[in-house]
Amino acid sequence: MATQDHTERIDAQLLIDGEFREGQDGGRVDVENPATRDIVGTVAEGTEADAEAAVDTAEDALAEWADRPAPDRADVFHRFADIVEERQDELARLITLEEGKPLEEAGYEASNVHTTIRYFVGETRRMRSSVTPSDQDHKQTYVKREPVGVVGLITPWNFPGMLPMWNLAPALVLGNPVVFKPATTTPLTAFRLVEWLQEAGLPDGVLNFVPGGGATVGEAILQDDRVEAVSFTGSTATGKRVAQLNAQFLRHQVLELGGKNPLIVAEDANLDQAIGAALWSSFSNAGQKCTASSRIVVEEPILEEFRERFVATTEELTVGNGLDEGVEMGPLVDEDGLEKVRKYVGIGKEEGAEVLTGASEFEDDERSTGHFYPPTIFEGHNDMRICQDEIFGPVTTLIPAADIETAYDIANDVRYGLSAAIYTTDLKKGHDAIDELEAGTVFVNQGPVGVEVQVPFGGMKESGYGRELGQAAVDNYTKQKTVYIDYSDEGRYWYLPWD
């Protein structure tokens, strides 16, 4: 297996008021390829002062951008989508280089980026609102939408192209300037997208890019009362802090947080399909997905067969550098991610969970240099910490369930509620699961991963607040104004005792 050459190097900068520049303290941070630990680029480190300058600029850009006719704004994004589509392979390669997922998976992510842009370009010219008849004759009521104002966008590293675009595209195209802070681990993909958006003709100041720390740049954006809406995707712990800061200003917010997602395999499931889904949803992106199936709840009559076949298929996965052909699972994103997996595998063993496969590290040169960990399956019970805490790595646990009702109870017995899935060939069970499962998204005969841009996505319980994508994005990035027009010319007043 020959590692492809990956010598390209990007030195990402901030973008403020249309100018690419260094941070005010001049700091730079290395960006590492998690498969090799080679430095693939650097990123300028923004400061609190840069965040403030970015909000100044965004505020100045607001009126003109918001007042632009929707088709003019849309033109920029048509060009942007074309650029991303033409350069999709370059984007995919960059995602693999800095985040580690295999090139094919990165290709799906890159194509999701332009799909998302094209969907929201359409949305800007619709900007659906509602007309509901007034109770009175010769009177009209309707709701109009206006851009919400300056948007703060803070994103994680696990989908460095797709997750920013889920919010950048609707926020910008609907008329809002944005201050965008990407994750420090994966800023290069975000930087490329920002460059391409400028190339597509976005006016200066409408998008401002401030990479930097969460405690510095992130908090500075959130502490600024001129920021009218915030989109945050990241861990539940950070999300709670973000919500506290947002509460000061009662601003629009959408919080997309962690998950501990169950995949139920009912006794009547098509096992070939259920195993394929368990494999993909547990181990794609090395399990670093908010929607990963980190708990697989299996009805006891089929447990033995499922266990044997799932373990055997997992052991066939090829783990390596995502740029190499045939690799099916890449590394963890960084040393912290790897350390967390090691810690939880230790906890699982101490708790008495049985290791079915994995749980011991690679010793060959290539994989012991990168942040690799083998796909790992435990068998245990739901009150173990490995079944309650988000591990965010290639670790899943089989949990036996005596019957389907018990399976629902197990699935729901967790503080998260992002996504949940069931494999069944029984129509009634499928519908019962939709009713029973406490999750923002429920999948029947699909693993709990893989969402589409035109429908809302988000979590229940501690997995989040609000929804993104689809029409929900339009709600997030517009203010609604209800209008009453009385054309009766009768001088009618409201609730008149004095008529």
Residue 256 annotated among the catalytic residues of the structure: yes
CB of 49 to ligand NAD, least distance (A): 16
Residue 59 annotated among the catalytic residues of the structure: no
Q: Which is nearer to ligand NAD, 83 or 179 (CB)?
A: 179
Judged by CB under 6 A, the residue of 238, 285, 314, 396 near ligand NAD is 238
Distance CA(133)–CA(142), nearest Å, equals 8
CB of 476 to ligand NAD, least distance (A): 13
Judged by CB under 6 A, the residue of 164, 205, 459, 470 near ligand NAD is 459
**Among the residue ranges 9-17, 253-261, 350-358, 475-483, the one whose residues contact ligand NAD (CB under 6 A):** 253-261
Residue 414 interacts with ligand NAD (CB under 6 A)? Answer: no
Judged by CB under 6 A, the residue of 390, 436, 462, 475 near ligand NAD is 390
**Among the residue ranges 94-102, 228-236, 354-362, 399-407, the one whose residues contact ligand NAD (CB under 6 A):** 228-236
Q: How many C-beta atoms surround the C-beta of residue 450 within 10 A?
A: 17
Of 267, 290, 387, 390, catalytic: 290
Judged by CB under 6 A, the residue of 418, 420, 433, 439 near ligand NAD is 418
CB of 471 to ligand NAD, least distance (A): 17
Tell me the β-bridge partners of 132: none
The residue of the chain with the least Cβ separation from ligand NAD equals: 214
Judged by CB under 6 A, the residue of 100, 259, 287, 358 near ligand NAD is 259
Q: Looking at this protein, which amino acid is placed at residue 453? A: V
Judged by CB under 6 A, the residue of 256, 324, 334, 475 near ligand NAD is 256
Q: Which is nearer to ligand NAD, 258 or 375 (CB)?
A: 258
Judged by CB under 6 A, the residue of 61, 150, 183, 474 near ligand NAD is 183
Q: Which is nearer to ligand NAD, 306 or 477 (CB)?
A: 477
Interacting residues toward ligand NAD by CB under 6 A: 154-158, 163, 181, 183-184, 214-215, 218-219, 222, 233-235, 238, 241-242, 256-259, 290, 390, 392, 418, 459, 464
Among all residues, which ones are annotated catalytic? Answer: 256, 290
